Amino acid sequence: MTTMFALHDFPPDHFLNREFSLLAFNRRVLAQAADERMPLLERLRFLCIVSSNLDEFFEIRVAGIKEQIKLRSNATGADHRSPHEVFRRVTHEAHELITEQYALLNDAILPAMRKEGICFYKRSEWTEEQQAWIHSYFRREVMPVLTPIGLDPAHPFPRVLNKSLNFAVELEGKDAFGRNSGAAIVQAPRALPRVIQLPRELTDVDYGFVFLSSVLHKHVNELFSGMTVLGCYQFRVTRNSDLFVDDEEVKNLRTALQGELPQRHFGDGVRLEVADNCSEAMSDFLLQQFGLNHEDLYRVPGIVNLVRLMSVPDRVDRADLKFPLFQPGLPKQLSGRYDMFDSIKKGDILLHHPYQSFTPVIEFLKQAADDPQVVAVKMTVYRTGTDSVLMEHLLRAAQKGKEVTVVVELMARFDEEANLSIAARLEEVGAHVVYGVFGYKTHAKLMFVLRKEEHGYRRYVHLGTGNYHPRTTRFYTDFGLLTCNDEIADDVHEVFKQLTGLGKASKLKHLWQAPFTLHANMVESIRAETEIAKAGRKTHIIAKMNSLLEPEIIEALYAASQAGVTIDLIVRGVCCLRPGVPGLSENIRVRSVIGRFLEHHRIYYFHADGEEKLYLASADWMERNFFRRIEVAFPVLDSKLKRRVIKEGLKTYLVDNCQAWDMDGDGQYRMKPSRRVRTCAQDLLLGELGEA
């Protein structure tokens, strides 16, 4: 296993800060919402995605920084910035980003939507008929589920759920018991819709909406009979949501996780969002209740949870304001009715999602569950959703008496509860459920089917770069490979042995595996390219991933660049490498592609003196993926399929001049206008692989 390095071994000015890079990524996403060439309702979606991303950023990343500050830790990243310095800049940039986000919503997107007949009515705009309907709705649907809590010695400040919608109410007067606390809290149950659609006959547009916050503001006085409401302010607190499970104390991971999960909703406060009309006295009071400072306060001109607007595009039947519909295609060998096992025996099958359908993967497991010749099924589960059809096929396979083994990753962030439920259901039908190796997340995407055929057992496997999640395969770009190659199957079988049993790691024939060989092989491949360049021969490295942070990989890339290796990096999100720096990285280009689909596949290409080594992987170039996760990178051995991956997954993105952002050495991204014909990688692939 590769030995971990010390950060001080590398110059700090070689690295960009992870948190700043993550905020830069969200600026690129926000730019999609600002792009008037985008369909209007998709612009709204991108705006909501920024909010969702920022929620997790505060829940995990900012929470971690604040924890370091609280513990007076001097821990730093590769750039050696102190937690205090990082927090100050992150806070400043987050405030700026959120200000720009709300300005875009209020000044551009909502007015444009109104012109298209999609209107969010303010209270001041409600007609008498609308007011009557809304009041009836409040009395019938909202008021019965509200529990206003007056603040006094007998009613302390309530526990407020993470990211829930709440209202702080300032009051005057005495109640029936003579109490006069001056304040109350109203919590909006999550069962209530945050966006309410008005009946068509009550509006002058096709789609008229009001916000739950507006409805409650208008009628909050009815919750406090006989008292005067001086102010009503919506607020939302974001809490530390990272789970802590002590690997030295835990005896049973599943039991420990079940005990820890309920506390996630009540972690330490990290951020307080309030409406911009909130009084200084009330905002100070709320900050005090959550143990926060003024820099943690975010005043917003609108609703405090923009993520809730994500449902609006699905409720509006306007195809002209959304991305065009498309039908994922199928490889030629899977046209018509097909037997998965016969098809795979004829040759490896490469699937490029979402341009090509995920159905063959589902069908592979379905046919394995129903085929009497199939003896055993093994699968890793990281994220699959709460109602996954794949899980139903696994359950049926176990019920039919097949040996079903499922490695469920219980620590998949924000999917822990779903995975606990899946594990329980599988155990009920007799499947073998294991939780991998404690201390290492099982992130590899593997499926293994053992089938008894005429000449003995044959193994069929599926390896992927993305999760076994049928819903996300519609908008995440990923590759999947179906094969019955004996040596690949040997390797996959060996990985499952490690995950379910005990013993030393065996040498694999084709797969590179973390935490054992993946990092060392990646570094060695980069260094081999460096030596080839020094010998004056052709070299090229192309790598596509979500994130690039790992310092030893970055330093190896710098050395390769200095030797003359041409390096193209397509990094969707966080990148701590500094490209194009004289004397350090002149030969490195970094670009990020942001578009309709979330770029998710990891592809690693090395020219290798003409051999052209190509690996697909579940792993980014991050320390956690190399050293704290179980990952695999797998080769594409079929020459035609290899050419497909190079063309579809790499070269098409390198010529994109429509959705690609080029990064400079200071971490700034620019979309360079092109005078050439516009080339959009995602549109090209839709045209080539999808169906009309």
Provide φ and ψ at 326, rounded to 5°.
-145, 155
Distance between alpha carbon 401 and the CA centroid of its chain, in Å? 36
Distance between alpha carbon 24 and the CA centroid of its chain, in Å? 16
User: What percent of the chain is predicted at pLDDT more than 90?
Assistant: 75
Per-residue confidence (pLDDT) for residue 248, from 0 to 100: 43
Cα–Cα distance, 505 to 502 (Å, whole number): 9
Label residues 301-339 b or e (16+ Cβ within 10 Å = b).
Answer: ebbbbbbbbbebbeebebeebbbeebebbbbeebeeeee
Asked if residues 376 and 449 have their Cβ atoms less than 8 Å apart, the reply is yes
Q: Is residue 55's pLDDT more than 70?
A: yes
- Site of tokens 């068509």: 200
Asked if residues 556 and 583 have their Cβ atoms less than 8 Å apart, the reply is no
Per-residue confidence (pLDDT) for residue 501, from 0 to 100: 81
Label residues 432-442 b or e (16+ Cβ within 10 Å = b).
Answer: ebebbbeebbb
pLDDT tens for 562-592 read: 999 999 999 999 999 999 999 999 999 999 9
Cα–Cα distance, 500 to 685 (Å, whole number): 39
Per-residue confidence (pLDDT) for residue 688, from 0 to 100: 94
Rounded to an integer, the average pLDDT of 519-526 is 98
Rounded to an integer, the average pLDDT of 619-631 is 95
Cα–Cα distance, 645 to 421 (Å, whole number): 36
Rounded to an integer, the average pLDDT of 86-108 is 97
Rounded to an integer, the average pLDDT of 646-663 is 96
Cα–Cα distance, 443 to 573 (Å, whole number): 19
On the 0-12 / 13-18 / 19+ scale of CB atoms within 10 A, 252 is: exposed
Q: Is residue 2's pLDDT more than 50?
A: no
Rounded to an integer, the average pLDDT of 443-466 is 95
Q: How many residues can be counted in the chain?
A: 692
Q: Which one-letter DSSP state was computed for residue 243?
A: -
Q: Identify which of 559, 353, 350, 370 has the alpha carbon closest to the alpha carbon of residue 463.
A: 350
Per-residue confidence (pLDDT) for residue 181, from 0 to 100: 67
Which position has the higher pLDDT, 441 or 31?
Answer: 31
Across-strand partners of 452?
457
- Six token digits for residue 140: 């019938």
Q: Which one-letter DSSP state was computed for residue 159?
A: P
Q: What would the DSSP string read from start to end of 605-631? A: EE-GGGT-EEEEES--BSHHHHHSEEE
174-183, 420-429, 565-574, range with greatest mean pLDDT? 565-574
CA 468 vs CA 57, 207, 337, 359: distances in Å: 25, 36, 23, 11
Rounded to an integer, the average pLDDT of 91-100 is 97
pLDDT band per the 50, 70, 90 thresholds, residue 7: very low
Per-residue confidence (pLDDT) for residue 276, from 0 to 100: 94
pLDDT band per the 50, 70, 90 thresholds, residue 251: very low
In this structure, are strands 432-434 and 403-408 parallel, antiparallel, or unpaired?
parallel
Side-chain half-sphere CA neighbours of 369 within 13 A: 20
In this structure, are strands 118-120 and 207-211 parallel, antiparallel, or unpaired?
parallel
Asked if residues 167 and 233 have their Cβ atoms less than 8 Å apart, the reply is yes
Cα–Cα distance, 510 to 633 (Å, whole number): 9
Asked if residues 597 and 649 have their Cβ atoms less than 8 Å apart, the reply is no
Q: Identify which of 558, 613, 595, 557 has the alpha carbon closest to the alpha carbon of residue 679.
A: 595
Per-residue confidence (pLDDT) for residue 186, from 0 to 100: 95
Side-chain half-sphere CA neighbours of 269 within 13 A: 22
Q: Which residues belong to CATH 3.30.1840.10 in the chain?
A: 7-321
- Six token digits for residue 477: 């770009």
Reported in sequence order, the residue ranges of 531-652 that DSSP labels E, i.e. its strands, are: 541-545, 567-571, 588-593, 598-599, 602-606, 613-617, 629-635
Label residues 655-677 b or e (16+ Cβ within 10 Å = b).
Answer: ebbbbbbebebebebebeeeeee
3-state secondary structure 57-118: HHHHHHHHHHHHHHCCCCCCCCCCCCHHHHHHHHHHHHHHHHHHHHHHHHHHHHHHHHHCCE
CA 642 vs CA 85, 351, 634: distances in Å: 45, 12, 12
Per-residue confidence (pLDDT) for residue 425, from 0 to 100: 84
Per-residue confidence (pLDDT) for residue 560, from 0 to 100: 98
Q: Is residue 253's pLDDT more than 70?
A: no
Per-residue confidence (pLDDT) for residue 676, from 0 to 100: 74
Rounded to an integer, the average pLDDT of 621-647 is 96
Q: Identify which of 73, 76, 77 has the alpha carbon closest to the alpha carbon of residue 15.
A: 77
3-state secondary structure 274-317: EECCCCHHHHHHHHHHCCCCHHHEEEECCCCCHHHHHHHHHHCC
Q: How does the average pLDDT of the chain come out, rounded?
A: 90
Element (H, E) at 663: strand 660-663
Per-residue confidence (pLDDT) for residue 153, from 0 to 100: 55
Per-residue confidence (pLDDT) for residue 180, from 0 to 100: 65
Cα–Cα distance, 328 to 202 (Å, whole number): 40
Q: Is residue 336's pLDDT more than 80?
A: no
Q: Which fold has domain 513-689?
A: Endonuclease; Chain A (3.30.870)
Q: Identify which of 567, 571, 593, 594 has the alpha carbon closest to the alpha carbon of residue 580.
A: 567
pLDDT tens for 18-47 read: 999 999 999 999 999 999 999 999 999 999
CA 605 vs CA 123, 153, 154, 349, 404: distances in Å: 57, 66, 66, 20, 35
- Six token digits for residue 412: 């998949």
Q: Is residue 459's pLDDT more than 70?
A: yes
Rounded to an integer, the average pLDDT of 495-523 is 92
Q: Identify which of 595, 614, 613, 654 has the alpha carbon closest to the alpha carbon of residue 481.
A: 614
Cα–Cα distance, 547 to 573 (Å, whole number): 5
User: What percent of the chain is predicted at pLDDT more than 70?
Assistant: 92
Cα–Cα distance, 43 to 78 (Å, whole number): 35
CATH numeric code, 332-504: 3.30.870.10
Q: Is residue 243's pLDDT more than 70?
A: no
Asked if the bond preceding 372 is cis, omega within 30° of 0, the reply is no
Q: Is residue 250's pLDDT more than 60?
A: no
- Six token digits for residue 162: 């993470």
Q: Is residue 154's pLDDT more than 70?
A: no
Asked if residues 619 and 633 have their Cβ atoms less than 8 Å apart, the reply is yes
Asked if residues 681 and 572 have their Cβ atoms less than 8 Å apart, the reply is no
Provide φ and ψ at 439, rounded to 5°.
95, -10
Per-residue confidence (pLDDT) for residue 261, from 0 to 100: 46
Q: Strand, coil or helix: what is 596?
A: coil
Distance between alpha carbon 411 and the CA centroid of its chain, in Å? 15
Asked if residues 525 and 615 have their Cβ atoms less than 8 Å apart, the reply is no
pLDDT tens for 283-328 read: 999 999 999 999 999 999 999 999 999 999 999 999 999 999 999 9
pLDDT band per the 50, 70, 90 thresholds, residue 438: confident
Q: Is residue 264's pLDDT more than 70?
A: no
Per-residue confidence (pLDDT) for residue 266, from 0 to 100: 57
Q: Which one is the CATH code of 7-321: 3.30.1490.20, 3.30.1840.10, 3.30.70.260, 3.40.50.720?
A: 3.30.1840.10
Catalytic positions, written as ranges: 443
Cα–Cα distance, 552 to 47 (Å, whole number): 35
Per-residue confidence (pLDDT) for residue 691, from 0 to 100: 77
Per-residue confidence (pLDDT) for residue 5, from 0 to 100: 47
On the 0-12 / 13-18 / 19+ scale of CB atoms within 10 A, 346 is: exposed
pLDDT band per the 50, 70, 90 thresholds, residue 680: very high
Q: Which residues belong to CATH 3.30.870.10 in the chain?
A: 332-504, 513-689
